Chains A and B, each alone.
Chain A
Amino acid sequence: MARRWGRTPRLTAATLAVAGLVTAAMTGCSALSGSASTSSSSITLYSGQHPQTTQKLVAAFEKKTGIKVSVRSDDEDVLAQQIVTEGSHSPADVFYTENSPPLEFLQGKGLLSGVHSSTLAATPSRYNSPQGDWVGVSARVSVLIYNPSVISQSQLPTSVMQLADPKYQGKLALAAGETDFQPIVTSVLRAHGTAATLKWLSALKANAAGHLYPDNETIASDVNKGSAALGIINQYYWYRMRAEIGAGATHSKITHFAPHDPGYVIDVSGAAILKSSKHQAAAQQFLAFLVSKPAQEIIGGHSLSYEYPIASGVTTAAPETPLSQLQPNSITIGDLGTGTAAITLLRRAGLL
């Protein structure tokens, strides 16, 4: 009777499957484990920046110095949390972001080591970490995107404060959770104080009912389609959308607020070295490269990034208004910080 429970084809198949798994695991080790190297002539870059820009910069750096750069891409805010969680054993040597708040966040946690003064000197000091803990690499500017077939240019606000006007009810698209909106709130807060900012945010929420979006890409595409009339984005979203869908399908336009308006804000992309890095010298070399002329020319000349190079005197072709002609609000990187006050207000207004 017991023989009935002996091996059967099905059991053999199961055994084979297990054996297959083990073999696959062994042969697949290289496919699974990659080639992260820890030698002194290599660094690991945690990047929240545009992948193609990063890749071009890294390739140029590797060619110039022979130092290998392993790139890990993710959202910059997740990377920032990851670095905090990884603590003293973080594999990251350099952290490169699209916005200053994640860098300021790590600066506040005491996780960054200083940047060489010669590197800092390549970028105008207003775009660097106030403590010299990270260096500004490129910049973007907030703009108003609008659809001329839905709203005429004369009806557009000249100040971000006017977006609270009931006449924009149902027309405004808003991405309050976007990293680009929070600096504008900080700027309005600095200019007008808590009570006025809270009132303004509540009015914005009412005006944007039905068009509260999770990101700037959605604002850009919905205004472009005409389902919303106007919204605030960073200039590069519009350029990237236009590059993707073509000028023929681009029915929207962008414009700046009046000079020095609180809604006219520059956002800075920067890079920092982790205190826990065991490759400080190579990491310093990488930062120095990012602000050097060849790297800044890659940023300025690159077709899909549409960011402003800010260091070593390099200028850009794609955004029509050159950086030097922008007239932004006087808010500084230090004022922007990690945006804690703005987030508190966004929460009180029910937008976060």
Chain B
Amino acid sequence: MTSSPVLDRSDPGPGEPGLHRPGYVAEKKNRRARRPRALIASAVLIAAVLALPLIFLLIEASGSGAAADARLIFRPLTAELLWNTVRLTVVVTALCGVIGTAAAWTVERTNVPGRKIWAVLVVVPLAIPDFVVSFGWASLWTWIHGFRGAVIVMTLAVYPLVYLPVAASLRGTDPGQEEVARSLGSSRVRTFVRITLGQARGAILGGCLLVAMVLLAEYGAFEIVGYQTFTTEIFTEINVAFSLPAACALALVLVLLSLIVLGAEGRLRGRGRVSRSGALAQRVSAPYRLGKGKIPALAGLVALTGLSLGVPVGSAIYWMTSGGHDSLTGVSMPSAALTTALYGLLSGGLATLMALPVAVLAVRHPGRARHFLERSTYLVLAVPGVVIALALSYFTEHYLGGFGYQTAPLLILAYAIMFFPLALVGVKASLARAPVSLDEVARSLGQPRLAVLVRVTLRLTGPGLVAAFCLVFLSVITELTATLILIPTGVQTLASQFWVYETNLSYGQAAPFALVMIAVAAIPSWVLGRFFDRGVADPRTMT
């Protein structure tokens, strides 16, 4: 057997503390010899594309001069915005971490009744546009306002970002370690905390990272609940002051904040890796019997989906029945639904494809430079969509003479850039758990590297790829600000057509579009559930 990819222990890897393979020290020597050139080249190219919005920020912000930018950043309001942004990010991220993990464990690892249905319902809130969620809440209770309102609305809207990776991770973890811990006399709670949560730690942190980054760039919901953050201020700069340079200078502060978030996540993640006890042991844990705990578990799921799904769906139905109907005409519902689904499919596919080389490089061929390359691709998530769209507009104007502007391929690329980190987290989490030894075996049998990637690695990471694709798909469905700038003239997605009706105060006409968005979102959620279930029905498909 020749050498194999090695996980350098000095590198903060993506996995959890746990087992490392025997014999890796010997392999370390061969690392330099096995530099995966094609992989590095494609990852660098992808990172460069993802850096475009950041380059645009620098170009624009430098346009107004350092003195003006400094005046803008060091004014009294900045401290307030910073405090607002930070406390919201911390509280909502923590809440999402707890709720997402608890929901994932309940749905994936217990015998709670109706697991298959919950698995779909719990994910769908991600695809309800933030402006629908917050409008639903704000119109029900006036106290849904300011910090409190922002916490409630955002937690219920984004906890699936934690749920999805954690559920995928719990579904795939090796039950052996839990069994060993229990057999060694570790208590249930201790086993849960040390082993179960320990194994899912990478996924939990990855999900929390996404939540924090998404919160930094959130706008629509905060506008409705009247909560000021850096991002709402960025929009104010554009909307009131006509100052794109000022908006970009503020967005740079957001990028700095997200660097801090990334650093914190990297620190918490720690070192080491996780794998299965036996490489081929795709065994599935026996569900934890809840017993009397069934009732509180069910009540929790009912409350969670009732609040996160029931409120927006209820208010959409209320709008539909009581809202104003005008003679405003738009694209037909099926046409908007088809357009939205196609954009979602294509950008989900593209983002997942783009995430693969970056993830493989980060997980299988780590190194300091490659680590920074991978981490840099997360920053784009904290850049508001309107800025990303304007960046693409800027680059097509300056370097392509406007070619391709406001065409479908450019919008698909914009979506893939915006939601790339969502795909990356999904792909990475499952790659980290797929045993390297299988790749090694395949390579030792003379399989070329690409064949190993396609035949072995991709198959092992299947659930992660599907999760990555679905996360992007769900996010694309509701995207609005970049869509309005880049969509081909005359085309409407569900979200953009909803927006047109909503700005027109034609809530009766807007509401069905919100409901169809939710319905479209249910499809990938269902697929996700089915995909995992197949693993259960046929646990030895890998061998």
Contacts and interface: CB of A to CB of B under 8 A. Distances in A.
Interface of A: 1-2, 5, 8, 10-11, 14, 18, 21, 24-25, 28-29, 31-36, 44, 50-52, 55, 70-75, 77-78, 80-82, 84-89, 91, 101-102, 105, 177-179, 182, 212-215, 218, 222, 225, 227, 240, 243-244, 304, 338-340, 343, 346-347, 350, 352
A304 B484 contact: no
28 contacts: A2-B445, A2-B446, A2-B447, A8-B459, A10-B462, A11-B459, A24-B346, A25-B346, A28-B339, A32-B491, A34-B490, A35-B490, A50-B504, A51-B503, A77-B240, A78-B239, A81-B244, A89-B401, A91-B406, A177-B239, A178-B240, A212-B226, A214-B223, A214-B226, A227-B142, A304-B324, A346-B240, A347-B75
Interface of B: 75-77, 80, 142, 222-224, 226, 228, 232-233, 236, 238-242, 244, 323-324, 326-329, 335, 338-339, 342-343, 345-346, 349, 386, 390, 393-394, 396-398, 401-402, 405-408, 442, 445-447, 451, 455-456, 458-459, 462, 481, 484-485, 487-491, 500-501, 503-507, 541
Given A50-B503, A101-B242, 20 more contacts: A1-B445, A28-B342, A29-B408, A32-B408, A32-B488, A55-B329, A72-B489, A74-B484, A74-B485, A75-B239, A88-B397, A89-B401, A105-B242, A212-B226, A214-B222, A244-B507, A340-B241, A347-B75, A352-B240, A352-B241
A102 B242 contact: yes
Contact of B335 (A31, A36, A71, A84): A31
A8 B456 CA distance: 11
A14 B458 contact: yes
Contacts of B76: 350
A70 B490 contact: yes
Given A25-B346, A31-B342, A85-B394, A91 B489 contact: yes
A77 B238 contact: yes
A240 B346 contact: no
Contacts of A24: 342, 345-346
Contacts of B75: 347
B339 A32 contact: yes
A89 B244 CA distance: 19
Nearest to B353: A18
B484 A78 contact: yes
Contacts of B394: 85
A179 B226 contact: no
Main secondary structure of the interface of A (DSSP, over half): helix
A77 to B, nearest CB: 4
Contacts of B503: 50-51, 73
Contacts of A177: 236, 239-240
Nearest to A45: B489
A52 B338 contact: no
A24 to B, nearest CB: 6
A88 B405 CA distance: 13
Contacts of A227: 142
A74 B487 CA distance: 11
A78 B445 contact: no
A182 B240 contact: yes
A18 B489 CA distance: 28
B349 A21 contact: yes
A82 B390 contact: yes
B138 to A, nearest CB: 8
Contact of A82 (B224, B393, B408, B445): B393
Contacts of A80: 242
A120 to B, nearest CB: 24
Contacts of A18: 349
Contacts of A2: 445-447
B328 A51 contact: yes
B327 to A, nearest CB: 7
B238 A240 contact: no
Contact of A52 (B326, B458, B507): B326
Contacts of A182: 240
Of the listed residues B75, B222, B328, the one surrounded by the most CB atoms of chain A closer than 10 A to its CB is B328
Given A86-B402, A338-B242, A73 B338 contact: no
A91 B396 CA distance: 12
B458 A85 contact: no
